[in-house]
Amino acid sequence: MSDNNSSGNSKPETDLMKMLSEFRMPGMPDVEALASAQRRNLEALSAANRVALEGAQAVARRHMEILQSSMTEMTEAMKAFGSQESPQAKAARQAEMLKGAYEKAVANMKEVADLIQKSNQEALGLLNKRFTEAMDEVKTLVAKKG
**Is residue 6 domain-resident?**
no
**Is residue 125 domain-resident?**
yes
Per the structure, the count of domains in the chain is: 1
**Is residue 84 domain-resident?**
yes
Q: What is the pLDDT of residue 2?
A: 47
**Is residue 78 domain-resident?**
yes
Give yes or no for residue 3 having a pLDDT over 90: no
Tell me the pLDDT tens digit for each residue of 96-114: 888 988 999 999 999 999 9
**Is residue 108 domain-resident?**
yes
**Is residue 104 domain-resident?**
yes
Instruction: Read off the pLDDT band of 24 (50, 70, 90).
Output: low
- The count of other CB atoms within 10 Å of the CB of residue 3 is 11
| Domain coverage including residue 121 | 31-145
The whole model's pTM is what?
0.62
**Is residue 9 domain-resident?**
no
98-131 burial, b at 16+ Cβ within 10 Å, e below that, comes to: eeeeeeeeeebeeebeebeeebeeebeebbeebe
**Is residue 7 domain-resident?**
no
